[in-house]
Structure 1
Amino acid sequence: MASRAIPLLLGLGALGFGLLAVFLEPFRELLLTNADHFDIKLPFLEQVSPVILVDHTREITYIGRQSNGVDHFQNIFYAEDPSGNNRFAPPVPIKHEKGSSIDATQSGAWCPQGTGDVLPFTSKVVNISENCLSLRIARPHGTAPDAKLPVLVWLHGGGHALGSASDVLYEPDGLVKQAAADGQPVIYVGINYRLGIFGFAISKALIEAKHTNAGLRDQRAALEWVRDNIESFGGDPQRVTAVGQSVGASDISLQLVAFEGKYDVPFQQAMMISGAPGLNINTKSDLVLNNTEAVAREVGCIKNGDSQSVETVQCLREAPFELLTNLSVTAARAAHPPFGEAFFYPTYDNDFVTDRPSQLLRAGKFTKGIPVIASWVSNEGAWFAPPTTSTDEDVLNSFGLWLTGHSKSTKSKLLELYPIEDFEGMVRPDSDGPISPQYYRAAQIVKDLLFSCPVLDFAWQYVKNGGAEVSQVRIYEHNATRYAPVFETMGLPMWRVAHLSDIPYVLNIQRLGGGADNSPAQLELAKMMSRSIVKFVASGIPDGGPEGWPAAFDGVTKGELKREFPSRIALKLFGGPYGNAAVSLKKDVNEAEGTAAEKAVKWEKLFERCEFINSEKVREESGV
């Protein structure tokens, strides 16, 4: 009797949950948002069902899941397991047997990196494996096989040290659902690529074997998989937009200059969020080579006293994955706390990267014909400068970990270009605590060295040297954040609109966790900004709204294009006290003239500061 009652009770329970979910449907988003905030699980609100997709060309079946109007296919491998003799080597494209059935219902392992918590609004890193070269696909539920939808491919950031396409920070549901509701559906693809020593180890033996910059080669292999397979998911392989954030953006610029532009890239448009070749610092230096050697020594792999030998590489390939991960992550975090960014990163290998990126741009050695959006956020450098910064020396040390080759004259000129009085008005004693103007000075210099000026340099040189028409390159500055309550809880209110701030707006994340701001005004801005980006993905022209979104160098003359640095810049300003505004700036124009938004951007002194930072001398010292 009891055994017959159990199925009945389970059935009644399931029915009850189903009826409850239906009853609560009008309140779903509100309930889920509050549940996320308080870390409460409400499974009866998650409508999940299996989705079967058949690739008839290759006779492969993908089993995904549908959740609240979005089809998810996760942990789809685009390359073979890169362990053993495949470690450090270029990815080997995966080939499934005909008749294969692929379980794509659950997210897969993250590429090797440090485990544990990162930030309150990101996922905890718990599952890492070398066999991580996978991607995730999200599309509107019911997408027809012949839909030919435009495709957005996301390259995550994380300083080449951490991150995954599966991180909750990159949840695509809001973007996919809103785009479909607006009658402009898109397909989202997020990719994993090798990080740290696994992705960017370098030595003489690795260079000779062309087993370098594996992480960049992974990205290209993933984009090629999308080109070759996305049509089965309803996507258009001829309308692919590569979107990267931070080093993901920098890596897109490297994909464009890869192999000196001799081969077409497997995408038709690019969006570079908070990144350009400037993030690929010290490309031709020995920093990463020395870091690879140091880890090899810790592992016990220096053979016959030669750290550059084939034997040393083979030993590293045979080392246990856990040992190599722990030793390399420990070394990276000790050198660059807390996460170890920019300890291993893309470098000159005379193959994938043949010179400093800024030199390749100036030589016209890049893939042409790619419309581009590039960007930065208002307080981009905030978390790279220590809050204790209070002297000129502290300011210079704030970027000394990454940029080690600056001459004394360059450092003096930087301090001169960023006078301390420019930043005294930023201090908020009541909310920020005992913060010196020197902190904001340091943050602004870091922002311009790593973000604003390299973005401007890439955009200008790409247009100047025939990469795209003037009308095809745009820039935005993002001036809003949903992380303010989180930063306050962390004791870091001075971060303000810091790095990462525009991600939840671009992806239209409606339920951002960790105590972030999910207020109606912020969600509306997210919806608007995401719509603008979707319009770019679909048509090549972003939606600028009533205010418009001019091309970055709108109105530039042929004579001006011969100059090394632009004398006019136009951009879109999103969020903040000045709203969503189109901003046009001209060199040597009175700062008191223009709209409130234009005056605010003029305060950044982009012309004089970036002209110096992008000069030949400083670029060479920076290694970009």
Structure 2
Amino acid sequence: MKPLSFSVSVFFTFGSSVLAASPPQAKTLNGTYQGRYLDAWDQDAFLGIPYAQPPLGSLRFRWPQNINTSFDGVRDASNYGYSCMQYKTNFNLSEDCLTLNVIRPSGKHDKLPVLVWIYGGGLYTGSTADPQYNLSGIVKVSQDMGQPIMAVSMNYRLNMYGFLQSSQLLAEGSSNAGLLDQRMALQWVQENIASLGGDPSRVVVWGESAGAQSIAYHLFSYGGRDDKLFRAAIMESGGPTGAQVQDLAYYTVPVQNLTQAVGCSAAKDQLACLREVPQDRLFAAQPSQVWNPLIDGNFLTGYPSQLMRDGQFIRVPLLIGANTDEGTSFSISGVNTETDLFNSLLSWRSYALSPPTIRKFLQLYPNDPCNEPPFDVKNCTIYPKKGQQWRRSAAIGGDMVMISGRRKMCELYTAAGQPVFSYRFDSRLWNKTAETGVQHFDNVAFSFENITGLLGPSPQYDDKLALARAVGMSYIRFVNSLDPNPSCKSHSAGDRLTSTPLPSWPKYDLNQPQNLVFNATKSFVEPDTFRKEGIAFMNTYEVSRELLS
């Protein structure tokens, strides 16, 4: 399996570009890398830079290890590295995947703000080589605004490679390796980004879905110890609730099944045996188990709900939001009666919801298809093929998995004295139906500035592109000044971009909570009080524990 060649990645992610006469170089602590000049964007790209030792052999499943060697000469950094091992994708895969990428405006720079992207995918799939995650679009917005930033993305281990959970791994201190990959990439940024023209004191982390949930785990890591790896966070459709954090006993049978599948069940040291299994054989085992983070007592000293209660979290400014119809992505099909829905919720997503809690949910979320996801469908359509109570399940599921956590973080961080800017993304993709609504992940095409053409053909859908510019400009301002609103000085520079006009984005206020609603027709500010009782119940400590968050 070969790394993704730059000729392919250029076609899909950077557009046509040509080599500059003098390709850019950057000196890191380990040695000098030569990147590539992107003529179409007037940017420098450094791709596939290792930030940790390859997690091979005895390092498989371990926390990432520092690169403790240096090299002479100049190494190539014009190609994406391998993507981490995963299923049902077409990426070029290898366990030797711990690399990162840096995109910056071309030329010499000093102390540019740094935006670090962490992809989502359920901690199961994802890659920086995905064309949807091309950072050139957001960096170009910063260039056009006259507020330049540089951007970084990293690969991290996924599924069993990053989140295998066993008693041996816990005793060794190797649980949650995928999260520690992310942390090591952030440490690499602190140690090396200045040599590429960035400011290590002005790093903002940015993630969507499992990427945003990863950021939440970093905010609660080490009991809230702040090692100054970043100064603010942008969290799209993800927070402390979502992927369930099971206890170690939950994984006993899946680990047994894995060791049996690869011939390690009889080994005296099963972990050592797993590390010796050839890559192809381990990959072929393809366990159906969903591997998630574990409360290991080290990186994660408690469940987020426990750490919130005890005030153990890193305090930084937040820009955070979710999509209007998250529930159409987090719903239960085939439920026709309240009994069907009750029974499904007992095991849904492997949460630990108790019967009294579910009964309370059903009380707080009565069956009202006129006011349930997809919220733009006002004619009370039932969608019987999905189930008579599918829309009700979508209302509960969307709030449970995504929206309640967004509100909880807004309230927690505002109460802690941090500036918080909350949004609701409300613009349906041009090729999506009313039935799907504005579902999970749809905002990403806007955040990344329509790199892959998902916003629709021009000129018919230029309003979508204008909204994407408005989103991008808000993010760039936040990265620069920790405020997404334009300053008086920045108005004229931003006028060069055609963007949807936005109202002033208010800071979150516990007495008058508000969201900025991103809508291609007209953006506006709304009270963040919808479904108040239901979401408040979800966010109680007792229910949070049942949601394993």
What is the Cα deviation at residue 314 of structure 1? 0.8
Q: Identify the match of residue 49 of structure 1 among 11, 15, 19.
A: 19
* Structure 1, gaps ≥5 residues long: 1-40, 117-124, 333-342, 557-567, 587-601
Contact map agreement 2:337 2:388 (CA 8 A) in 1: no
Deviates more, 1:393-402 or 1:72-81: 393-402
Helix, strand or coil at the partner of 1:138: strand
Q: Distance in 2 between matches of 1:62 and 1:289?
A: 46
Q: Identify the match of residue 164 of structure 2 among 188, 198, 201.
A: 201
Match of 1:620 in 2: 545
Q: 1:43 to 1:318 in 2, by over 3 A?
A: closer
Q: Identify the match of residue 302 of structure 1 among 260, 265, 281.
A: 265
Match of 1:240 in 2: 203
Contact map agreement 1:244 1:273 (CA 8 A) in 2: yes
Contact map agreement 1:61 1:99 (CA 8 A) in 2: no
Aligned residue runs from structure 1 range 69-218, under 5 A: 69-116=42-89, 125-142=90-107, 144-146=108-110, 148-218=111-181
Contact map agreement 2:29 2:70 (CA 8 A) in 1: no
Match of 2:495 in 1: none
Match of 1:373 in 2: 319
Q: Distance in 1 between matches of 2:338 and 2:104?
A: 51
Match of 1:26 in 2: none
Q: Distance in 2 between matches of 1:477 and 1:316?
A: 44
TM-score, reference length from structure 2: 0.87
Q: 1:386 to 1:73 in 2, by over 3 A?
A: same
Match of 1:64 in 2: 36
Q: 1:88 to 1:546 in 2, by over 3 A?
A: closer
Q: Identify the match of residue 302 of structure 2 among 337, 349, 355.
A: 355
What is the Cα deviation at residue 437 of structure 1? 5.5
Contact map agreement 2:244 2:547 (CA 8 A) in 1: yes
What is the Cα deviation at residue 434 of structure 1? 4.5
Q: Distance in 2 between matches of 1:292 and 1:427?
A: 47
Q: Identify the match of residue 182 of structure 2 among 189, 205, 219.
A: 219
Contact map agreement 1:284 1:623 (CA 8 A) in 2: no
Deviates more, 1:426-435 or 1:379-388: 426-435
Q: Distance in 2 between matches of 1:265 and 1:298?
A: 43
Q: Distance in 1 between matches of 2:422 and 2:235?
A: 9
Q: Distance in 1 between matches of 2:258 and 2:276?
A: 14
What is the Cα deviation at residue 522 of structure 1? 0.4
Q: Distance in 1 between matches of 2:199 and 2:388?
A: 50
Helix, strand or coil at the partner of 1:331: coil
What is the Cα deviation at residue 424 of structure 1? 6.5
Match of 2:231 in 1: 268
Q: 1:619 to 1:64 in 2, by over 3 A?
A: same
Contact map agreement 2:163 2:292 (CA 8 A) in 1: yes
Q: 1:322 to 1:394 in 2, by over 3 A?
A: farther
Q: 1:435 to 1:290 in 2, by over 3 A?
A: closer
Match of 1:339 in 2: none
One-letter identity of the residue aligned with 2:426 = N
1:418 aligns with 2:375: no
Match of 1:569 in 2: 513
Helix, strand or coil at the partner of 2:35: strand
Match of 1:405 in 2: 352
Match of 1:506 in 2: 447
Match of 2:218 in 1: 255
Deviates more, 1:381-390 or 1:613-622: 381-390
Q: 1:247 to 1:289 in 2, by over 3 A?
A: farther
Q: Distance in 2 between matches of 1:45 and 1:364?
A: 47
What is the Cα deviation at residue 459 of structure 1? 2.6
Match of 2:255 in 1: 292
What is the Cα deviation at residue 428 of structure 1? 6.6
What is the Cα deviation at residue 232 of structure 1? 1.6
Q: 1:182 to 1:43 in 2, by over 3 A?
A: closer
Contact map agreement 2:346 2:354 (CA 8 A) in 1: no
Q: 1:219 to 1:44 in 2, by over 3 A?
A: closer
Contact map agreement 1:361 1:458 (CA 8 A) in 2: no
Q: Identify the match of residue 523 of structure 2 among 580, 583, 589.
A: 580
Aligned residue runs from structure 1 range 29-40, under 5 A: none
One-letter identity of the residue aligned with 2:277 = A
Match of 2:273 in 1: 315
* Structure 2, gaps ≥5 residues long: 1-10, 487-500
Q: Identify the match of residue 345 of structure 1 among 292, 303, 308.
A: 292
What is the Cα deviation at residue 53 of structure 1? 1.1
Contact map agreement 1:284 1:356 (CA 8 A) in 2: no
Contact map agreement 1:384 1:446 (CA 8 A) in 2: yes
1:529 aligns with 2:433: no
One-letter identity of the residue aligned with 1:459 = C
1:548 aligns with 2:504: yes
What is the Cα deviation at residue 95 of structure 1? 4.1
Q: 1:516 to 1:361 in 2, by over 3 A?
A: farther
What is the Cα deviation at residue 387 of structure 1? 4.6
Q: 1:227 to 1:505 in 2, by over 3 A?
A: same
After superposition, what is the alpha-carbon deviation per residue over 1:255-301, rounded to whole angstroms, capped at 9, x for unaligned? 11111123414111111111111024234363345433332232222
One-letter identity of the residue aligned with 1:547 = P
Q: 1:233 to 1:478 in 2, by over 3 A?
A: same
Deviates more, 1:544-553 or 1:226-235: 544-553
Match of 1:475 in 2: 422
Q: Distance in 2 between matches of 1:576 and 1:415?
A: 34
What is the Cα deviation at residue 412 of structure 1? 1.3
What is the Cα deviation at residue 523 of structure 1? 0.4
Match of 2:413 in 1: 462
Contact map agreement 2:351 2:548 (CA 8 A) in 1: no
TM-score, reference length from structure 1: 0.77
Q: 1:362 to 1:280 in 2, by over 3 A?
A: farther
Deviates more, 1:394-403 or 1:275-284: 394-403
Match of 1:383 in 2: 329
After superposition, what is the alpha-carbon deviation per residue over 1:393-431, rounded to whole angstroms, capped at 9, x for unaligned? 443426834143111111111112111125467377999
One-letter identity of the residue aligned with 2:353 = H
Contact map agreement 1:285 1:623 (CA 8 A) in 2: no
State the structure with more CA Rg: 1
What is the Cα deviation at residue 47 of structure 1? 2.5
Contact map agreement 1:533 1:543 (CA 8 A) in 2: no
One-letter identity of the residue aligned with 1:106 = N
Q: 1:278 to 1:285 in 2, by over 3 A?
A: farther
What is the Cα deviation at residue 513 of structure 1? 4.8
Q: Identify the match of residue 324 of structure 1 among 259, 282, 285.
A: 282
Q: Distance in 2 between matches of 1:428 and 1:173?
A: 41
Contact map agreement 2:113 2:480 (CA 8 A) in 1: yes
Helix, strand or coil at the partner of 1:313: helix
Contact map agreement 1:187 1:235 (CA 8 A) in 2: yes
Contact map agreement 1:358 1:458 (CA 8 A) in 2: no
After superposition, what is the alpha-carbon deviation per residue over 1:133-181, rounded to whole angstroms, capped at 9, x for unaligned? 0111111122x142x1111000000001000111111112221112101
Q: 1:42 to 1:92 in 2, by over 3 A?
A: closer
Percent of counterpart pairs with the same letter?
29
Give the helix-richer structure, 1 or 2. Answer: 1
Q: Distance in 2 between matches of 1:56 and 1:374?
A: 32
One-letter identity of the residue aligned with 1:550 = P
Match of 1:590 in 2: none
What is the Cα deviation at residue 303 of structure 1? 3.2
Q: Distance in 2 between matches of 1:225 and 1:523?
A: 34
